[in-house]
Chains A and B, each alone.
Chain A
Amino acid sequence: MCAVPVSLVDDLRGHLAPDRVRAEPLELSLYGHDASIVTGGFAAVVCFPISTEEVQACVRTARAHGRPFTARGAGTGLAGGAVPLGEPVVIVTTKMNRILSIDVDDRVAWVEPGVINLDLTRALGVHGLHFAPDPSSQQACSIGGNVANNSGGPHCLLYGVTSAHVLAVEVVLPDGEIAVLGSLDPEPDGYDLRGAFVGSEGTLGIATRIAVRLTPNPPAVRTLLVDFLSVDDAAACVSAIIAGGLVPAALEMVAGGMIAAIEDFVHAGYPVDAAAVLLVEVDGMPAFVEDAAGLVAEISRTNGARTVRVAADETERQLLWKGRKSAFGAVARLAPDYYLHDTVVPRTRLVEVLRKVEAIAEKYDLRVLNVFHAGDGNLHPLLAFDAREPGVLERVHAAGDEIVVASVEAGGVLSGEHGIGLEKRDLMPKLFSVDDLDAQARLRDAFDPDGFANPGKVLPSGSRCGELQRIPPGVWV
């Protein structure tokens, strides 16, 4: 790494208050990571803008110094998307955390990117509305980060992922221009640049204001905890529920050792001797919910469920969900480190892929725990390990790659909600042909012809037909 030119810091401090432009070694090191186990990032300088104009100034100053820039929200990303490559200017949006407006009639809110996901839903409670995407990190993750990763969450099974809940985004484009992509009206003219932007992991610009769609709270909700003595039965039950013609609001699975880990941690009453539990939620109008809950219970019993527990009240429902959402905290009691994976397989092939994941973990002598969004086939195999053990990280990475390959071979995809980032960048050719990757590179180049926005992410080098990935001059990658 090179010393950060004083002039870069000085120029940024010409636009942002000096205490919001940081270049102390501790901070540079801190912002070199996100929540993933991806290493190798290093920030040149870290900026905390508080307005669109300040974000624009950061982008323009970075460019003027020949530096790339990497946007970052709360840093909860698990694919290394916010790990700074090429010693960029890191632009942190956490101080842009105001809810700007809530329009109850049109069911839309304008928010700044640093608003915490759960804070928005809490602010909407009095209106009987919520923001539907609910990643497990929703207490910490920001809506800007949700937009960048097209985040999901348990309830995306029925409600759809973030893209379905973003109407418009004000962005600072990679050339420093400001534009609003999308519109509050339903059929804006021209290309759906909003759609292209959501999930682009900071490579097409930086969101500075976001218009999100608000979802009415359902009049009725029923939550069931169903347990099985075999993972195969539980997985078959998931397929049967979907095949039964009803789309639950959420359909989650917790398997094996994960159940006891959660139970020890939150005491939610999860049956520790079960091989797998399903957390199923149905919501909507009362008659539908009653029938659907009955149908889920019936299908579960047909598929070998041992017990079906229905949450009696909101307190019990919250407790069951707390168990599910605390899973990753609970793992800390089993092993000091973990690597959380994210792939999607067709829902009818869950049984087969779960078995393969088990076999892969065994082959690499790793412990695998499963807690995932079973209803949409979104696996989250979690490899628990102790990083102090020599050579273990190599095994973890090798097992991770094999899990991705097994998922793709079963007709699945690389990521359901964490994104590609750096973690899966070089696995993209497993899913996409040369022509497919070239098309994605064309889109990226149309937004960012000079390659300044979050370089080195999403697309492997060589994605552009006939040329290497372009790197801005003077950048170390």
Chain B
Amino acid sequence: MSVLEVFAEEVGTDGPVVAVGGRTQFDVGGPVEASAREVKAPAGIVEHVAAEMTVRVRAGTTVAELDDALGVHGQCVALPAWDGATIGGVLAVGHSGLRRLGWGPVRDAVLEVRYVSAEGRLVKGGGPTVKNVSGYDLPRLFVGSLGTLGVIAEVVLRTRPVAPREQWFTAEGVDPFALARGLYRVASVLWDGTSTWVLLEGHPRDVDDQARVAGLRTIDASFLPPLPKHRWSLAPAALRGMRDDDNGPFVAEIGVGVAHRELPQPPRVVDPTIAALAARVKNAFDPTGRLAPGRLR
């Protein structure tokens, strides 16, 4: 029996079950019912062909471990490498890291997903090539689904070249929105209402030139602001209003729309048509409601 088949047996065919990764974001989507049995996806890099710029990896592998292995070949994945976070966990939650402005959303890094269905079957969606429109895009549906549609067991990810140079900068007295717009393929622009921090990646000469033209000052990454614990998601332009609202301090990802704050974001109104459609999707994939019960309710 293959490693994935063993895992499918472990997930089994009945009883509530929830996949656990590094527990770095386990509370996202609401608490899981206490009766749910915890399972951990297998770990390990199955295949990395550097010349393909893709990697097949089991979901229990940590992002940091994967990046270490890819780094030998000058590559990485566009996933946040939070301490202890696993590939499966990061994909199930779908939250991006601080470099989303340059790297794009987590969902665009996934090419193929193999998951254990609610019926305990191994199912594949997508495919191993960098381009593929064969059938429905299950990989994207699974990103951010919080383990409620199936338990991610193995994925194929697109890799990207590690930039020859990456450097954080600060800027004072600038409009961070104009700054983000003026810089080309900037990796990150953070703003707390007063100070602005910028991450540039690329050819060393381009990094220096962009920094000089924009009047940026080099800083060490250890001087970045600590991130408050709650995530807000807003249209990028709406970040502008944060400085003057009553919700306390923030660190905003300019151009992206994610903001980090001490207070949680107020619940958003869900269109009843969308809610009904999502419920039908959930019911189609998990008719008995055994996967991560309690989440996304």
A residues lining the B interface (CB < 8 Å) = 103-107, 149-150, 152, 156-157, 160-161, 163-164, 173, 177-181, 183-193, 195-196, 198-200, 216, 218-219, 239-240, 242-243, 245-247, 284-288, 291, 344-348, 373, 376-378, 411-420, 424, 428, 431-433, 435-440, 442-447, 449, 458-459
- Report chain B residues within 8 Å CB of A185: 233-235, 238, 257
Assuming the contacts A246-B161, A442-B285, asked whether A199 and B273 have C-beta atoms less than 8 A apart, the reply is no
- Report chain B residues within 8 Å CB of A291: 203
A373 touching B135, Cβ below 8 Å: no
State whether the Cβ of B49 lies closer than 8 Å to any Cβ in chain A: yes
Chain B residue at smallest Cβ distance from A428: B135
Measured CB to CB, the closest approach of chain A to B60, in angstroms, equals 22
A198 touching B129, Cβ below 8 Å: no
A458 touching B53, Cβ below 8 Å: no
State whether the Cβ of B123 lies closer than 8 Å to any Cβ in chain A: yes
Q: For the complex, what is the distance from the CA of A222 to the CA of B63, rounded to whole Å?
A: 34
Q: Which of B15-23, B34-42, B177-185 contacts A (4 or more CB under 8 A)?
A: B177-185
State whether the Cβ of B278 lies closer than 8 Å to any Cβ in chain A: yes
State whether the Cβ of B48 lies closer than 8 Å to any Cβ in chain A: no
Measured CB to CB, the closest approach of chain B to A145, in angstroms, equals 13
Q: Which of B79-87, B139-147, B191-199, B216-224 contacts A (4 or more CB under 8 A)?
A: B139-147
State whether the Cβ of B100 lies closer than 8 Å to any Cβ in chain A: yes
A106 touching B236, Cβ below 8 Å: yes
Measured CB to CB, the closest approach of chain B to A174, in angstroms, equals 10
Looking at the complex, which one of B74, B138, B203 makes contact with A245 (CB distance below 8 Å)? Answer: B74
B133 touching A150, Cβ below 8 Å: yes
Chain A residue at smallest Cβ distance from B180: A105
- Report chain A residues within 8 Å CB of B127: 344, 412-413, 431
Assuming the contacts A286-B206, A348-B51, asked whether A192 and B94 have C-beta atoms less than 8 A apart, the reply is yes
State whether the Cβ of B107 lies closer than 8 Å to any Cβ in chain A: yes
- Report chain A residues within 8 Å CB of B212: none
- Report chain B residues within 8 Å CB of A444: 136
Number of A-B contacts defined by CB within 8 Å:
250
State whether the Cβ of B105 lies closer than 8 Å to any Cβ in chain A: yes
Q: For the complex, what is the distance from the CA of A163 to the CA of B275, rounded to whole Å?
A: 22
Q: For the complex, what is the distance from the CA of A157 to the CA of B121, rounded to whole Å?
A: 33
Looking at the complex, which one of B95, B117, B140, B285 makes contact with A192 (CB distance below 8 Å)? Answer: B140
- Report chain A residues within 8 Å CB of B138: 196, 439-440, 443
Within 8 A of A (CB), among B124-162: 124-125, 127-138, 140-141, 143-145, 149, 160-161
- Report chain B residues within 8 Å CB of A347: 51-52, 130
Q: Which 6 A-B pairs rank lowest in CB-CB distance, beginning with the nearest? A: A195-B140, A285-B206, A243-B51, A287-B205, A442-B284, A413-B127
**In the complex, how many residues of chain B place their beta carbon closer than 8 angstroms to a beta carbon of chain A?**
78
A446 touching B134, Cβ below 8 Å: no
B residues lining the A interface (CB < 8 Å) = 49-53, 74-75, 94-96, 100, 104-105, 107-108, 117, 121-125, 127-138, 140-141, 143-145, 149, 160-161, 177, 181, 184-185, 202-206, 209-210, 231, 233-238, 255-258, 268, 270-271, 273-275, 277-278, 280-285, 296
Measured CB to CB, the closest approach of chain B to A134, in angstroms, equals 14
- Report chain A residues within 8 Å CB of B277: 173, 179, 193, 446-447
A190 touching B184, Cβ below 8 Å: no
B136 touching A200, Cβ below 8 Å: yes
Chain B residue at smallest Cβ distance from A180: B271
B141 touching A285, Cβ below 8 Å: no
- Report chain B residues within 8 Å CB of A419: 133
Measured CB to CB, the closest approach of chain A to B164, in angstroms, equals 9
Q: For the complex, what is the distance from the CA of A369 to the CA of B133, rounded to whole Å?
A: 23
Given contacts A216-B184, A420-B133, 5 further A-B contacts (CB under 8 A): A160-B104, A188-B268, A193-B277, A347-B130, A436-B125
Assuming the contacts A105-B237, A439-B123, A458-B135, asked whether A377 and B129 have C-beta atoms less than 8 A apart, the reply is yes
B133 touching A284, Cβ below 8 Å: no
A416 touching B131, Cβ below 8 Å: yes
B131 touching A417, Cβ below 8 Å: yes
Assuming the contacts A185-B233, A344-B131, A435-B121, asked whether A191 and B257 have C-beta atoms less than 8 A apart, the reply is no
Select the residue from B50, B135, B160, B205 with max chain A CB neighbours within 10 A. Answer: B135
B50 touching A243, Cβ below 8 Å: yes
A193 touching B278, Cβ below 8 Å: yes
Measured CB to CB, the closest approach of chain A to B287, in angstroms, equals 9
Q: For the complex, what is the distance from the CA of A196 to the CA of B140, rounded to whole Å?
A: 7
- Report chain B residues within 8 Å CB of A178: 273
A189 touching B268, Cβ below 8 Å: yes
Q: For the complex, what is the distance from the CA of A388 to the CA of B282, rounded to whole Å?
A: 51
- Report chain A residues within 8 Å CB of B160: 247
Q: For the complex, what is the distance from the CA of A345 to the CA of B95, rounded to whole Å?
A: 30
B49 touching A420, Cβ below 8 Å: no
A190 touching B278, Cβ below 8 Å: yes
Looking at the complex, which one of A239, A288, A346, A373 makes contact with B203 (CB distance below 8 Å)? Answer: A288
A195 touching B100, Cβ below 8 Å: no
- Can you spell out 18 A-B residue pairs with CB atoms less than 8 angstroms apart? A150-B133, A186-B257, A186-B258, A187-B231, A187-B233, A191-B278, A200-B136, A242-B51, A246-B161, A285-B185, A377-B131, A428-B135, A432-B134, A435-B121, A435-B122, A436-B124, A443-B281, A458-B136
Measured CB to CB, the closest approach of chain A to B138, in angstroms, equals 6
Q: For the complex, what is the distance from the CA of A432 to the CA of B202, rounded to whole Å?
A: 39
B141 touching A287, Cβ below 8 Å: no
A376 touching B274, Cβ below 8 Å: no
B134 touching A414, Cβ below 8 Å: yes
Assuming the contacts A187-B94, A243-B50, A243-B51, asked whether A285 and B203 have C-beta atoms less than 8 A apart, the reply is yes
Looking at the complex, which one of B100, B137, B233, B274 makes contact with A198 (CB distance below 8 Å)? Answer: B137
Q: For the complex, what is the distance from the CA of A416 to the CA of B52, rounded to whole Å?
A: 16
Looking at the complex, which one of B124, B130, B137, B271 makes contact with A195 (CB distance below 8 Å)? Answer: B137
Assuming the contacts A179-B277, A191-B141, asked whether A287 and B135 have C-beta atoms less than 8 A apart, the reply is no
B133 touching A418, Cβ below 8 Å: yes
B257 touching A285, Cβ below 8 Å: no
- Report chain B residues within 8 Å CB of A445: 284
B132 touching A416, Cβ below 8 Å: yes
- Report chain A residues within 8 Å CB of B235: 106, 183-185
- Report chain A residues within 8 Å CB of B124: 432-433, 436
- Report chain A residues within 8 Å CB of B53: 242, 247
Chain A residue at smallest Cβ distance from B256: A186
Q: For the complex, what is the distance from the CA of A192 to the CA of B275, rounded to whole Å?
A: 12
B202 touching A288, Cβ below 8 Å: yes
Q: For the complex, what is the distance from the CA of A59 to the CA of B273, rounded to whole Å?
A: 16
